Amino acid sequence: MPDAVRADSWLWAVRVYKTRSAATTACRAGHVRVNGEKAKAAQQVRVGDDVRIRIAGFDRILVVRQLLTKRVSAPLAAAAADDRTPAREPVAQLAVRDRGAGRPTKRERRDIERLRGR
């Protein structure tokens, strides 16, 4: 068993990214950090390393528990990484406009036309 694997290969194997090329692209763009340092795709990760991935504006924090070079089933992939991502705050619901404020909706416009007798 190897003592280290490539960062992009490990991220793909633990199902953070759908493809290895997507993991490589994320590394090149600077979205992946290993132990606080920006990681290149070929950087080696070892057991115990802290891996931070920026996805959709949020950081996902993973600690390497097992080294994988090939993609495995979801339960095995989940066991290979310890997810220490803090819980996100709930996303606010879209604001519903008050009745009568702004432009009438299609339904309100039909009601108005019905009142006018058109």
Decide: 83 and 62 in contact? Cβ < 8 Å.
yes
Decide: 23 and 41 in contact? Cβ < 8 Å.
yes
Contacts of 90 (CB under 8 A, 6+ apart): none
Q: Does the domain formed by 5-83 have CATH 3.10.290.10?
A: yes
**What is the pTM assigned to this prediction?**
0.73
**Nearest partner of 53 among 79, 92, 15, judged by Cα:** 15
Distance CA 50, CA 37 (A): 10
**Segment 87-105, tens digit of pLDDT:** 887 766 666 667 667 888 8
Cα angle 29, 35, 39; round to 5: 25
What are residue 12's DSSP bridge partners? none
Percent of residues, the chain, with pLDDT higher than 90: 65
Residues of the chain falling short of pLDDT 70:
1, 91-97, 99-100
